[in-house]
Structure 1
């Protein structure tokens, strides 16, 4: 039997999880509940607030995961047994919302434009402009967000090496994940 998703379950879980995530100073990116037979998987995607640059470190993700798990246990909003997966969107997330672009500041981004053009540069800032929000790139280019069909962060090997060296010192994990088996 294929996994089933319930919008109602998503919203019930979101209503329990959102205050916990907010009190941890994080952003609740997404909640998905998928049921397969008698078990469910609850996926909670967390991110830093849009005004912060960098990655959500694994210690902070773990703390948030434990708080989310406790809140779900207390509220008992998921029927039966479930597995809780708490993670970050990771670097491969498509940039689809203004907040995604704000979170990608300092990163190289590849932009596919609605007119068929493309550009790749480091994203410096997202500012208000005459056409709405505007991406400011390190090469001096400014691109109205309304002109962007699709955006993604470019993985930079040198930067990845630098980030990993920092992670080893500070416990950062760009695409970290915490999993908890739950009996609901």
Structure 2
């Protein structure tokens, strides 16, 4: 759909999200067969649960039905969260990803896989992972202006650091 439709949707949805205590992360309108599909992603610093998403979906549905943003045609509404492999596009995304592993593509063409240690409004301190297990991880400060794009990575085999800190030495 046109940017105008997305802009109008954002203008309608931003205050509703703020009122619900949510950040409006993404709005996409695509064609799905004979109808349009409206996909909305919301989030908070603590994540969102299914009840919150269901409540917000009802509010959005009512607001869309009362407005002329979608016109008269049928549409399918989907409200969700950015998901496990969420993009890191804003400082709040980086702050929410503290402790998580991210794949970071740099403006200069480089690419690093790093754990986000801390983040502020200008950049993030990351622990760059060694390539193929060689060497040691190194801390590096990345300014957001150096980052072309970044995305959180799913980790299946990561041990919980709290358990490791409790002195689990592997002895039984």
Q: Could you tell me the TM-score, scaled by structure 1's length?
A: 0.67
Structure 1 unaligned spans of 5+ = 163-184
Match of 1:33 among 21, 29, 36: 29
Distance 1:47 1:87 in 2: 8
Question: Within 5 A, what are the aligned runs for 1:42-81?
Answer: 42-48=38-44, 52=45, 54-79=46-71, 80-81=73-74
Partner of 1:148: 147
Structure 1 residue 73: deviation in Å?
A: 1.7
Does the 8 A contact of 2:14 with 2:24 survive in 1? yes
Structure number with greater Rg is 2
Structure 1 residue 115: deviation in Å?
A: 4.0
Structure 1 residue 21: deviation in Å?
A: 1.0
For residues 80-101 of structure 1, give each alpha carbon's deviation from its aligned partner in whole angstroms, at most 9, with x where no partner exists: 2111111212122332333332
Structure 1 residue 112: deviation in Å?
A: 2.9
Structure 1 residue 9: deviation in Å?
A: 2.1
Structure 2 vs 1, CA of residues 147 and 76 (structure 1 numbering), >3 Å: closer, same or farther?
closer
Partner of 1:100: 93
Structure ranking higher on relative contact order (CA contacts 8 Å, 6+ apart):
1
Structure 2 vs 1, CA of residues 7 and 145 (structure 1 numbering), >3 Å: closer, same or farther?
closer
Superposition RMSD on alpha carbons, in Å? 2.6
Does the 8 A contact of 2:61 with 2:77 survive in 1? yes
Q: Could you tell me the TM-score, scaled by structure 2's length?
A: 0.71
Structure 2 unaligned spans of 5+ = 128-137, 161-172
Moved over 6 A (4+): none
